[in-house]
Amino acid sequence: MRPAKFLNKYDKIIFDMDGVITSEQNYWNIAALTVHELLGDRLYFGGGSVPASACEDLRQIRARLFDNDRFIIAAKEKGVNSNWDLCWLAFCYLSQGRTPAEMTAHVRDGGSLAFDLYEEAAHISGRVYGLPLSETVRNGPLWRKCRDLFQEWYLGDSLYEEMWGGKAAGKGKPGMWRTEDPIVPLDGLKNLLESLYSGGKTLGIATGRNRFELTKPLESWDCLKYFDPASSVDSDYIVRGEENLRLAGIVASLSKPQPYMFLKALYGTDYDDLRLYRGDYDPEPIRRTLVVGDAGSDILAAKAMGADFLAVLTGVSGERARSYFEEVGAEYILPNVLCMAEE
């Protein structure tokens, strides 16, 4: 196996992770369980009890709450890139009394993109629960409650307390990180990464996952060694970057479709956040950089920085995403990442 000839023009390849290298099925299951517990358990906003054994019924829970995945597709196509945001949005809309089908139709058929949806969700949850907007905005206390419960399902009780620094509800959640899978056959993925690495390409990652969730599956698959540590950007960099901007008097989101994550992966994790945000960098390396993703937020971020984009059709929309990527000008569209190599 060797890199496809069209890759000769690139020195650096930056991958999104979910839907490209890793399967998102596990995360969508966790998002559904999170919404289910938030709405149903008296520890949060419900009147009953949601046990850890609810994960045994996750298929039915996900199908019901996410409208047989139609809500996931609609949200992704509007640029919702984080699974924390996904479950927070669903929670807010369903708290309002919408049915899952109504929630899907609202997101799919409305003209709003991700950041407008976030603002709307904050106002909705504020009205429903009688909370000030400062508590319901994205990254605010209510959003963090969703995020933390999501991480509790992902990590499990003991690892959550060890790594996340919070107190788990103590329900015996086993930790669903153990069920992570690559989105393509593992042997093929390893051969691809080896061929790119051996061919002199610098490989990076820009993902909404945190550091543990980035490294753990790649380590377990013996794939982490192919990625440049200085080009591997996770959600922790978003948090620190946004704080650095606030210290400079700038309030801004650095999540995709803002190009910050791809720029950080390109210029290195030590590159100054304020300089990246202001465009204070040499644009020449961008010409020899390829971004690989599966979602609208990925290509919008890549185009915002001026990088070429390779779309893979292994995201939630599958082959249906082809027309979208053609319309927005993806340089390459492939069935999956394995097609980046030749036998």
Place of tokens 């040499």: 282
User: Maximum Cα–Cα distance for the chain, whole Å?
Assistant: 60
Half-sphere exposure of 28 (CA within 13 A, CB side): 26
User: Which residue positions in the chain have pLDDT lower than 70?
Assistant: 343
The domain limits of the chain are 2-23+181-342, 25-178
Half-sphere exposure of 33 (CA within 13 A, CB side): 27
Name the CATH architecture for the domain at 2-23+181-342: 3-Layer(aba) Sandwich (3.40)
Confidence at residue 3, expressed as pLDDT on a 0 to 100 scale: 92
Residues 304/329, Cβ–Cβ less than 8 Å? no
Q: Which positions ≥6 away from 25 have C-beta within 8 Å? A: 181
| Predicted pLDDT at 45 | 95
pLDDT digits (tens, 9 = 90+) for 202-253: 999 999 888 988 998 999 999 999 999 999 999 999 999 999 999 999 999 8
* Exposed e or buried b per residue across 11-41, where buried means at least 16 C-beta atoms within 10 angstroms of its C-beta: ebbbbbbbbbbbbbbbbbbbbbbbbbbbbbb
Residue 171: what are its φ and ψ, rounded to 5°?
-90, -5
- The pLDDT assigned to 251 comes to 92
The answer to whether residues 270 and 251 touch, using CB atoms and an 8 Å cutoff, is no
Whole-prediction pTM:
0.79
